[in-house]
């Protein structure tokens, strides 16, 4: 039996009193990266943080990201449609 795998995507800054700089700084500390790298990631949103996670692992990432003042989504990778297009050239 195959278990579903999930991806966590960073989607932005949460509404609130915490400034973007502080969210980026806390994000950098959380993932042990430089502030410059964190800033680059936030400029590239939506940004995939991690893939091939269990539901429990994905929920843990989501909780940690939301705790620092950022927003993210958890996506089921069962039906991965990335790269598909309905535009006819």
| Residue predicted with more confidence, 71 or 88 | 71
Q: Which has the higher per-residue pLDDT, 56 or 15?
A: 56
Q: Is the pLDDT of residue 72 over 50?
A: yes
The percentage of the chain sitting over the pLDDT mark of 70, rounded to a whole number, equals 84
pLDDT of residue 78: 79
Per the domain annotation, does 54 fall within a domain?
yes
d(CA 74, CA 79): 13
CATH of residue 47: 3.30.1390.10
In the chain, the number of structural domains is 1
CB 68 within 8 A of CB 27: yes
Q: Is 30 helix (H, G, I), strand (E, B) or coil?
A: helix
Mean pLDDT of 19-23: 94
pLDDT confidence bin for 17, thresholds 50/70/90: confident
């Amino acid at each position: 039996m195959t278990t579903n795998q999930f991806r966590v995507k960073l989607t932005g800054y949460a509404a609130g009193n915490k400034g973007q700089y502080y969210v980026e700084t806390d994000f950098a500390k959380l993932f042990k990266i430089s502030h410059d790298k964190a800033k680059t990631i936030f400029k590239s949103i939506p940004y995939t943080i991690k893939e091939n996670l269990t539901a429990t692992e994905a929920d843990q990432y989501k909780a940690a990201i939301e705790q620092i003042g950022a927003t993210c989504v958890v996506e089921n990778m069962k039906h991965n449609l990335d790269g598909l297009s309905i535009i006819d050239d």
